[in-house]
């Protein structure tokens, strides 16, 4: 069991390292800016793997991986805003999402679990 935990930790560190490398490359090459905001996470590695995937698809990904009640603040202007839902989306966050969507902002839900939760 301890060996499996260590292997998972090493895998997570490898994913973080790779994500930082490809995200730095995306920023350097002035790709299309995208904000990836984690609003619920089941496995922290998943959101970083999504950042790698999006970067490889031609985006300059800025990842806000800290989950908090207030919306993420980007350091740059972005053309796309994705909300990562690893364990659902709270009704409060869903309301914020709908307000932004109805205002015409470029925002979408993504991740393995986009259902609205009670919390």
pLDDT tens digits along 26-67: 888 889 999 999 999 989 999 999 999 999 999 999 998 776
pLDDT tens digits along 74-95: 677 889 999 999 999 999 899 9
Q: In whole angstroms, give the CA distance from residue 87 to residue 52.
A: 20
Q: Which residues contact 69 (CB under 8 A, 6 or more apart)?
A: 92
**CB hemisphere CA count around 23 (13 angstroms):** 18
């Amino acid at each position: 069991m301890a060996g499996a935990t260590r292997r998972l930790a090493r895998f997570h560190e490898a994913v973080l390292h790779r994500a930082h490398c490809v995200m730095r490359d995306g920023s350097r090459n002035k790709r299309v800016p995208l904000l990836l905001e984690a609003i619920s996470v089941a496995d922290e590695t998943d959101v970083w793997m999504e950042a790698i995937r999006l970067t490889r698809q031609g985006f300059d990904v800025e990842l806000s991986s800290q989950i908090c009640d207030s919306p993420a603040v980007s350091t740059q202007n972005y053309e796309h805003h994705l909300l990562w839902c690893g364990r659902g989306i709270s009704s409060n966050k869903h309301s914020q999402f709908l307000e932004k969507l109805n205002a015409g902002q470029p925002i979408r839900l993504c991740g393995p679990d986009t259902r609205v939760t009670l919390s």
